[in-house]
Structure 1
Amino acid sequence: MSAVTSTPAAPNAAALAHFAARLAFETDVSDVAADLAAGVPEVVVVDSRSRESWDQGHVQGAVHLPTAEIAAGAAALIPRDVTVVTYCWGPGCNGATRAALEFARLGYAVKEMLGGFEYWAREGFPVETASGVSRRPVDALTAPVSGIACAC
């Protein structure tokens, strides 16, 4: 008996609805990096972590708005006509989900960045600190070390 097929795959219509919905709620670090590099104005990336975490390193071009401050501070920092992309530490943290929920409560279009800051840094994208911008070597377990996108 197959471990994979012991529970049958969903019917096609259900699979289409499920995977389309996931893409409506989530994005990944590669897509976010591409939009930031291209200067896409309708996407704003929000780091929902603490000041100490932000200072340790953050996505270059992100806005710092900790989750607890979103309700009071979003209107002053984030235009209403953009798609907000939230991130926190990484896959083991639900901070980006909590931040996305706060933005949704305020009526913003919002997506969560899968992998968070951990995968941003592990894939070699620009990390900003008070000292400047740097890039870490690409982790071969997360992205091609050649620097060429995985093209997925």
Structure 2
Amino acid sequence: MDGIAARLAFVDARLAYEIDVVAASRAVAAGSAVLVDTRRQESWDHGHIAGALHLPASALATGLDDLPRDRTLIVYGWGPGCNGATTTARILLAAGLDTRELLGGYEYWVRNGFPTESGGAVTRQAPDPLVTAEA
């Protein structure tokens, strides 16, 4: 495979695997996907995407059977600098589960003004104009 073909294949693979927060929000609203938080308990307690399931690395061995198999699982971590979601995604994919990774993780979900939950309360932060599209 020449250089351009190899890079094109890599980009195609990324587009098939990664999903941005806007597309993820739409997929969850349509009922075709569920969000899965891969962060540790303290991070989940601090705040998580409203409606997400919690599957930290410490629960992977016992939590796979509890995941829905009729929807795409969209895994996320803290943000672009965290690869915990990538590690979990690999395990889920190897187990035969339809899995994608959320670009930007929790950070970009919050920055886009999508709903989060903490202490049982669902809130939304004002969207960051640097990451949201102009109307």
Q: TM-score range by the shorter chain?
A: 0.7 to 0.9
Question: Could you tell me how far apart the structure 2 residues matched to 1:70 and 1:105 are?
Answer: 13
SS in 2 for 1:61: coil
Superposed, which structure 2 residues align to 1:1-152 within 5 Å?
A: 11=4, 13-14=5-6, 16-36=8-28, 38-40=29-31, 42-76=32-66, 78-144=67-133, 148=135
* Paired letter, 1:44: V
SS in 1 for 2:10: helix
Displacement of 1:130 after TM fit?
Answer: 1.6
From the CA coordinates, give the structure whose radius of gyration is larger. Answer: 1
List runs of 5+ in structure 1 lacking aligned partners: 1-9
SS in 1 for 2:58: helix
List runs of 5+ in structure 2 lacking aligned partners: none
Percent of pairs with identical residues: 46
Query: Could you state the TM-score of these two structures normalised by the residue count of structure 2?
Result: 0.88
Displacement of 1:29 after TM fit?
Answer: 0.8
Work out whether residues 67 and 102 of structure 1, in 8 Å CA contact, stay in contact via their aligned partners in 2. no
Structure with the bigger RCO (C-alpha within 8 Å, sep 6+) is 2
SS in 2 for 1:142: coil
Deviations 1:116-141 (A, max 9, x none): 00000011100111241111111122
Closer/same/farther in 2, CA of residues 71 and 81 from structure 1, 3 Å limit = farther
* RMSD across aligned positions (CA): 1.7
